[in-house]
Amino acid sequence: MSTKTTHSQRGKKGPVSSKKIAPPRRSRARRRRGLKPGIIAVVIAGVAIAGVAIIALGVIFFLNNATNSSQAGQYAFQVGTPGPGEAAP
């Protein structure tokens, strides 16, 4: 007979001891960490505030430029001396 051990005999040791076999370790599943609800609320509020500010600036710009452009060159106030087209002292 051969002195080599067969494949089925490799790793086998004498009688099994009375010690309990430790349970296999559980692999730690990595939890996917999303953004916290508070951070999401802050981002949404910031975007909303920025949107309202942009709309408000657009309305102000529109109202300031909506004046009657046919009055170009005419003054909305009384001009004193020297008048328009006169040389300044």
65: pLDDT strictly greater than 80: yes
Q: Residue 7: what pLDDT?
A: 59
41: pLDDT strictly greater than 90: yes
Domain coordinates in residue numbering, the chain: 37-61
Q: What is the DSSP letter of 32?
A: P
Is residue 56 a contact partner of residue 63, using CB atoms and an 8 Å limit?
Answer: no
Is residue 89 a contact partner of residue 82, using CB atoms and an 8 Å limit?
Answer: yes
Supply the pTM of this predicted model.
Answer: 0.42
Cis, bond preceding 89 (omega within 30 deg of 0)? no
Q: Residue 17: what pLDDT?
A: 59
Long-range contacts of 31-38 (CB under 8 A, 24+ apart): none
Q: Say how far apart CA 66 and CA 62 lie, in whole Å.
A: 6
Which alpha helices (DSSP H) does 1-89 contain, by range?
37-65
Most confident of 7-11, 76-80, 81-85: 81-85
Q: How would residue 40 be classed by pLDDT, with cut points 50, 70 and 90?
A: very high
